[in-house]
């Protein structure tokens, strides 16, 4: 087996234009929040002055927007992963999204769809834990872990 050696040349630091191009590609791939963009900017080794200017250009050109990110994130995690509002709220807080944007994103989730998903999950868990003496506690725990509110879970049990 041949061993491939890495280049012995030291990596040159990226220019501001190269960093901007990489971040444009990074943001175009999927919606990003400002925290993710800033973290990527640090990874690429941008200076503070260049970083502030690059962030301003990216935001001005619409490459990232926290409101758009919150809407997409909340909708996707609800529809695809069947997360409840509590879990989505926690995850968005960890990404430093403003509380008003989080509330707007969660309000965009249709209440009828939300309750339908909860009911489906309750039914699915009932089948999964059938015959278990602690079925009620296990269902409540499982649904609370994915972020559904206790009063709603209790209503559907």
First CA to last CA across the chain, in angstroms? 61
Tokens at 105, concatenated? 């994103």
The pLDDT tens digits of the residues spanning 22-75 come to: 999 999 999 999 999 999 999 998 888 999 999 999 999 999 999 999 999 999
For residue 55, being part of any structural domain is answered with yes
The model's pLDDT over 69-115, given as tens digits with 9 standing for 90+, comes to 999 999 999 999 999 999 999 999 999 999 999 999 999 999 999 99
Q: Is residue 146 part of a domain?
A: yes
pLDDT grade for 5, boundaries at 50, 70 and 90: low
Residue 4 domain flag? no
Please answer whether residues 105 and 65 qualify as being in contact, where contact means their C-beta atoms are separated by less than 8 angstroms: no
> Which residues constitute the domain of residue 134?
111-156
Q: What pTM was estimated for this model as a whole?
A: 0.86
| 143 in Cβ contact with 80 (< 8 Å) | no
The reply to whether 149 falls in a domain is: yes
Number of domains in the chain: 3
Q: How far apart are CA 66 and CA 98, in angstroms?
A: 8
- Residue 12: band (very low, low, confident or very high) from pLDDT cuts 50, 70, 90: confident
């Amino acid at each position: 087996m041949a061993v491939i050696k890495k280049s012995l040349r030291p990596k040159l630091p990226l220019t501001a234009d190269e960093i901007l191009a990489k971040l444009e590609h990074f943001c175009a791939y999927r919606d990003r929040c400002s925290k993710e963009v800033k973290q990527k900017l640090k990874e690429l080794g941008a200076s503070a002055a260049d970083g502030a200017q690059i962030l301003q250009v990216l935001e001005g050109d619409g490459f990232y927007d926290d409101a758009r990110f919150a809407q997409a994130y909340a909708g996707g995690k609800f529809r695809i992963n069947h997360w409840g509002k509590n879990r989505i709220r926690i995850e968005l807080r960890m990404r430093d999204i403003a509380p008003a944007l989080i509330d707007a994103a969660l309000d965009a989730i249709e209440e009828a769809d939300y309750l339908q998903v909860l009911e489906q999950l309750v039914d699915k868990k009932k089948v999964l834990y059938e015959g278990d003496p602690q079925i009620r506690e296990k269902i409540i725990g499982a649904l609370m872990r994915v972020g559904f509110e206790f009063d709603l879970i209790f209503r559907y049990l």
